[in-house]
Each structure stands twice: as structure tokens, then as C-alpha cells.
Structure 1
Amino acid sequence: MAATPKPGANAGGQGFVEFVDVEKSYDGRAFAVTRLNLSVARGEFLTLLGPSGSGKTTTLNMLAGFERPTQGSITLEGQSVDRLPPYERNIGMVFQNYALFPHMSVEENVGFPLSVRKISKADIASRVARALDMVRLKQFGDRKPAQLSGGQQQRVALARALVFEPSLVLMDEPLGALDKKLREHMQLEIKQIHTMLGVTIVYVTHDQSEALTMSDRVAVFNNGAIAQLGSPDDLYNTPQSSFVASFIGENNTLEGVVDRISGTECRVKLNGGGEITALAIDVAQGAACHVAIRPERLKIGPAAADETALPATVDGRIYLGDHLRLLARLANEQVLTVKVGPEATMANGETVTVSCAPGDCRAFPADAGTGGFVSKQGKTT
């Protein structure tokens, strides 16, 4: 299992995987995926993230060959796969339900993709041994799937997907059936294997923390389109819509109207009273907007000269070990969640000042956040 190159463009600038003007409709009227242009680099770990019904699994199924696009085309290494059946695409698959054969041993399950490719028995044995060693299950080769834990079964499924050295591995909610602790452990294991092998992975999940932990880039889907595509840091710290800001990570949302715009910033009059200065993201003066602020970007205490000060009352304290979540109720009855240190002594009912810098607040149009993101070249890259 030799390592492949790390993320980067192929010769000529074409992506390893390309979706070009892809759309998918099951009834000819409503579209599960619309106007999808997406480029995946060789060796990249790309996650398709979004709520149920957003189009991410349909996109994965079209790449796998389980569904055909209604319009547009999909290429792999520069070659169209639109008419290729799944078994001719040289793609490994890992599913949430593992899809292991219960009557076969672990070794037989892992070796199955090699046997159908008519690989010699000696070569199968050595490659299966390497694959099981990679996922730390070499000693379990003679067991049946039912004799393994959920995490071990998922490792077997991962080894089976990698044993024939595919050019691409697709993972559809592979950790959804595991408990929280095991899921977090498997996230790190999959990422380590990806780093070791350099294989290209397209991963589907609705769990935003999972996407942020594992991915080189994340495509956030909403209503069948990509709302934003970027690195985990980009999505978390510079969301381009109210939907992305609220879907990625914990977020406070204040409702108001844009009073005035000055350069890259705007002053927002909050509904029910109060004002706040924020970065202006496609907002218009006089229009309704949502102001998004991360809990860790708020502080309790006097505001600096360029910051906004919001009088509030402590409405609750949530102890989370390494920090506290304070619920701060503003005069207009909107409640902010503020992340503070565990040593904070503010009591329920205490009057405090919540302050924030303009650069930590982002104002979005109130009716935006559901559209797709397409670059000037017409491709999401």
C-alpha cells in the first residue's frame, strides 16, 4: 500500500475528481442536487457535510455509481465515469452498517475484493495481513464479524475498502453507529491512515465536529447545493452565510436591522433595543439581518474603545469542566451564550457587561444562507 501524493492539482489543473454542472432529480421536478461543480484534489480528505436531505449522500452515491446524474458529468482521473458500473470504478466504500459478510471470517471479508479480482491466493494472504496489521486486527483474522465489537467491525470494513489499493475511498456516515468515545477514537484512526497512505477520501457526515476534526476541506451542503467550501478554519472563523455560521460550531444569533454601513463594517440596531457593530457580509442598509457571534469571542467586562458593550443579566451557568457557559440575557430579552473560565464567579441574577469586537461579529442578510457557492470560474474548487 504505497503512499500517493498529498493534495494538489493534476497536470493541466484538473482535479482528481470533477463534478461538472451535475444535477439529480428523482421525479423530474424537485432536485436533490442542483448546479454542482466540485473539484477534489488527489490525496485530499474532503467531507460532504450537511443536514438530512441536503444532497450530500446523493452526491456520494453518484460518485460511487449507485445513482446516475440527471444532468452534468463526473470524471475520475480525467476519465468520465458516468456510464461505468460501481465495480469498474476502482473505488473503495465504507458504510455505516459495515456491510460485512456474517458467514465469512475477518480475513475472508477483507480478502473478498481481491478474490473477485482474481488475485492469487498467496498475494491475497500477504495483502490481507498487511491490511489487518494497519488497522491493528491481525490477531482477529479467524473470527466472524459477530464476535467483534462495533469499532472492530468498522476497522474490518476500512481494511476491506483499502486492501485492493483503490484510487478513491468513499465513506458514508461510517461512524454513525458508534458511541461518542469510540467515534472520536475512530476519527483519529481514519485520519492517521489517510495521512499514512495518502489515499483520496470523500466522506459524508451530518456531524460538524467530525468534519472539522478530520478534513482538509469541507463542502457544506444545504438544499441540494454547496453553501460554502473551504478548510475547517475558514468555515468556522469566516462563514459566508447565516446558515453556515449556525451549522458549523456553536453560535449566537442576534436579530436586527442594518442602520448604517461604513467600509467593511456596519452598525446594527437590535430588535427590542441595543446596537452592535459587526462585519458586513452582503447586507444592505435598512435591511433585516442576523448577527453571528461565537461564544468564545464574547467576554464579560468593560468594552474597549472599538468594542460593543451590551448590558446583560446572568440567566444561567452551565459547568463543563474546563470552562463555563454563561447565559446572559440582554435588555431586549435575547440570550447570549458566553464561554468563560471555570473560575468565573458570576452568579445567577447578577448584572454584567458583555462586550465584543466588530471583527468577531458577522452580519448576514436575514433571508440568506441557503444558496450555493460557485467561484468566478464557475467551479467550486
Structure 2
Amino acid sequence: MAAQSGDGEKDGAKFVEFIDVEKMYGSFHAVRRLNLDIRRGEFLTFLGPSGSGKTTTLNMLAGFERPSEGMIRLDGQPVERMPPYERNIGMVFQNYALFPHMSVADNVAFPLSVRKIPKSEIGPRVVRALEMVKLAQFKDRKPTQLSGGQQQRVALARALVYEPTLVLMDEPLGALDKKLREHMQIELKQLHEMLGVTVVYVTHDQSEALTMSDRVAIFESGEIAQIGSPDQLYNDPATAFVASFIGENNALDGTVERVNGDECAVMLPDGLKVIAKAVGPLPQGAPVQLAIRPEQIKLAAEVNGHDNRIGATVDGCIYHGDHQRLLARLANGQILTVKIRPEASMAMGEPVDLAWSTGDCRAFPMGTAISGGH
């Protein structure tokens, strides 16, 4: 499966290039024939489940791993045989990797010291880096005297203090609680926009990827299944795997009854028909997976002109503040999740008609199972 560069360019310059890159560990194919361009100044996220190849790809870019085949270029120069310390790359890890016996200021100064920066320059640069992450007042504290979020800011300041051209982040917020993680996502994005540095970010958290990224590359089994802007991946997934990994989805299995251009009629097991957008080759009689997001399903009584209508019974309602999640049981026993108004009143067992537009429902060739998302 070939990767594409996709949209979402910054200044249009290819800053990082992976050219036919492969990585083998014995007989295990960790990364398969990767071709990827990273634009100068963009925030690109590698997203995927464990073992999908995203961290291995990041480590090859950092220099911690060497490709089995292929070439990696950084600003036009081949780097696959260049040691990490010569690549001018900043790294931020999940575990912070701070020196506990050193002060915050000394931790941040460390990359400058090992690069033999004159002492007269180190102090001002450390102060500037700590001011960027709003920690200048804590420069004399030890890491153990800081909260998890503050420690992560120190790690970020240390990665930025020597003004690298590229910053790599491997699950940097994974150890933080939900509220702090969401706050740090905003801070990281603002810092990226302020500095204009190129960031490559690894996560398995799809909401984090959607929140922060200019583009997202979704990894599956050592390949990039799709790359694009967050809204492209959410609204126009190219495969069933991408549809399942980005956001929530309802899944329905069926068989293609007929195809008309980019639309197809799908017969569900209970005899109901659904019109969907066809994604990929879908010959008549082929088994397919349908994907429809909870917010795209409407109560039929509240809308007009939707192509698909299906009967169900209320199996439950879950209150979420700004909306409710209606659990609607179909005749075949399958339950669809539907987002409805918070004030809507639905009783258990009540019949309900659901509706959605053809363009909001996608039919994929039968393959990777669609789940409810993450």
C-alpha cells in the first residue's frame, strides 16, 4: 500500500523524505516500502495501533534505528547512516528522561553543554526556552519538585533550547491525566505555531491527533493506510480501517445489490436496503462493510429528504451534557448509536425511525472490521 504525500502543505518544501524505506527485524516486516514527504514547518502525526510501525518510523528518522532498505533525506541530505547527534533533531519522550539530580535549568542546558556552546550563551538561551514553556520561575527546582505537566514542559524546553530544525515527539503526553493532557495539547499546538518548527508526533490517541495536527498519517501493519488533514480523514476515510480508527462509527455488514456510479445499493441481512457511497471496487454480490457516524444518523421525524430510512426500537439513552447517545436496536438485533438532542425524551422499547444521507454512509470492501472507534 503506497503512502501519498497528501495535502496540508506549509511552504511546499519537502523537508523530510522517506524513499522506499523498509525495516525488518528478522522475518518481521515492521515497515513496508514507505514513501512519505514531510513539509517544512508542519505538524505531522503518526497515528496507529501498537505494532503498526509508527514508532519504528520515528526512530529511523531520529537515527536510533537504521533502515533495512531505502533512503531518508533531511533537508535534502541522506541521513540514514548519520548518527543521531549530527541530525539537529530535538526529541521529547513519554517518560521525560530528565536528570533527577540536576536543576530544571541544568536539565535544559544539558544539550547546549554537550554541543560545546559557550557558557556566556547558555544562560540566556535556557531562560528563553523556559519562558516559552512558562517555567522560568522554576529554574532552580529539581524535576521531582514539579508536577507531571511541568516535567513535560521541561523536557520540551530541553528539546527546543538548541533550536533544532525538527522536533520528534513519542507519546509525550501519555503519562498525563486527561484534563492536563488536553491542556498540553493546546499549549504544544500554540508553541508550534509560534516557532514554526517541523514537528513529527507519535500517538495512538486519535482525538489527540485530530486536535493538534496539520496532517495525520494512519499506520496499519507497517504501511500508511491514508494520510491527510484531520477533516479529510474523518469525513472521507479511504479504507474500513481508517474509518474505524478515526472517530466513532456504526458498522453494518451487507451485500452489494447494484452499483450506480459512485453509489451502491446494499442489502442487509434482514432484507433492508441501504444506499451508500462506494469506496473501492464493489462488484455486484460482493460482501461489504457500511460505516455511518453517530452524528450523521438523524431521527426521521426531524429531517426531510434523507435517502435512507430504517426502523428501530429504543434500547437506551445515555446523557452526555451537550447531547444524548440513543441506542437503537434494529430488527436483526444490531444496535446503532445515534447522537440526539440533550432534551429529547425517548422511552425504552419505543419505536423510532432513523434516517441518513447516502453521502454520509460509506461502503467498503469486506476486510478489516469496522469498530466503534477509540
Q: How does the TM-score come out when normalised to structure 1?
A: 0.93
Distance 1:31 1:37 in 2: 16
The answer (yes or no) to whether the contact 2:46–2:54 under 8 Å persists in 1 is yes
What residue in structure 2 maps to residue 107 of structure 1? Answer: 105
State the partner residue of 1:364: 364
| SS of residue in 2 equivalent to 1:233 | helix
Amino acid in the other structure paired with 2:39: A
Count of aligned pairs between the two proteins: 360
Pairs within 5 Å for 1:156-235: 156-235=154-233
Q: Is the 8 A contact 1:227 1:369 kept in 2?
A: no
Question: Deviation per CA, 1:197-222, whole angstroms, max 9, x where unpaired?
Answer: 00000000000000000000000000
Cα deviation code 1:79-123 (max 9, x no counterpart):
000111111110000000000011110000001111111111121
1:66 matched residue in structure 2: 64
Amino acid at match of 1:290: Q
State the secondary structure of the residue aligned to 1:16: strand
SS of 2:347 mapped into structure 1: coil
**Cross-structure match for 2:23:** 24
1:343 matched to 2:343: yes
Q: How far off its partner does 1:304 sit?
A: 3.7
Query: Is structure 2 residue 134 aligned with structure 1 residue 131?
Result: no
Task: Name the CA distance, whole Å, in 2 between partners of 1:81 and 1:246.
Answer: 35
Unaligned runs of 5+ in 2: 1-8
- Which residue of structure 2 aligns with residue 379 of structure 1? none
**1:315 alignment counterpart:** 315
CA distance in 2, matches of 1:366, 1:33: 24
Give the corresponding residue for 1:287: 286
Q: Does 1:8 align with 2:11?
A: yes
Q: Spell out the pairing of 1:248-287 with structure 2 (5 A cutoff).
A: 248-282=246-280, 283-287=282-286
The Cα offsets for residues 244-263 of structure 1, whole Å up to 9 and x where unpaired, read as 00110011111100110111
Structure 1: which amino acid aligns with 2:287? A
> What CA distance in whole angstroms lies between the structure 2 residues aligned with 1:53 and 1:26?
12
Counterpart AA for 1:240 = A
Q: Tell me the equivalent position of 1:373.
A: none
State the alpha-carbon separation in 1 of the partners of residues 10 and 59 from structure 2: 23
Distance (Å, rounded) in 2 between the aligned partners of 1:306 and 1:135? 49
Residue 368 (structure 1) shift = 5.5
TM-aligned CA deviation for residue 264 of structure 1: 1.2
> Is the deviation greater in 282-291 or in 299-308?
299-308
Equivalent-residue separation in structure 1 for 2:40 and 2:306 (angstroms): 45
CA distance, structure 1, for counterparts of residue 121 and residue 21 of structure 2 = 39
Task: Say if 2:23 and 2:67, in contact at 8 Å, map to a contact too.
Answer: yes
Q: Which runs of 4+ in 1 moved over 6 A?
A: none
Deviations 1:24-70 (A, max 9, x none): 0010x220000100000000100000000000000000000000000
| Whole-angstrom distance in 1 between the partners of 2:306 and 2:110 | 64
Amino acid at match of 1:9: G
Kept after mapping to 2: 8 A contact 1:241/1:369: no
- After superposition, where does 1:10-89 map in structure 2 within 5 Å? 10=13, 15-27=14-26, 29-89=27-87
8 Å CA contact retained: 1:219, 1:229: yes
Among the aligned pairs, what percent are the same residue? Answer: 68
Residue 369 of structure 1 and its aligned partner are, at CA, apart by 8.2
3-state SS of 1:266 partner:
strand
State the AA in 1 paired with 2:356.
C
1:147-158 alignment, distance < 5 Å: 147-158=145-156
Structure 2 Cα separation of the partners of residues 8 and 224 of structure 1? 28
Matched, 1:296 2:281: no
Q: After superposition, give the CA deviation of every residue in 1:273-317 in whole Å (9 maximum; x if it has no partner).
A: 311110011122210001100100000124644511100001011
Aligned to 1:374: none
Asked whether the equivalents of residues 9 and 16 of structure 1 are also in contact (C-alpha less than 8 Å), the reply is: no
CA–CA separation in structure 2 for the residues paired with 1:305 and 1:322: 26
- Work out whether 1:140 is the aligned partner of 2:138: yes
Deviation digits for residues 3-40 of structure 1, max 9, x if unmatched? xxx82223xxxx1000000010010x220000100000
CA contact (8 A) 1:64 1:86 kept: yes
User: What pairs up with 1:86-97 in 2 under 5 angstroms?
Assistant: 86-97=84-95
1:333 Cα deviation after fit? 1.3
Give secondary structure in 2 for the equivalent of 1:142: coil
Q: 1:369 to 1:309 in 2, by over 3 A?
A: closer
Distance 2:273 2:316 in 1: 23
Report the alpha carbon displacement of residue 367 of structure 1 after superposing the two structures with TM: 1.7
Give the letter aligned to residue 344 of structure 2.
A
CA apart distance, 1:272: 2.7
Write the distance in 2 (CA, Å) between the matches of 1:273 and 1:160: 61
SS at match of 2:290: strand
Amino acid at match of 2:15: F
The amino acid of 2:293's aligned partner reads R
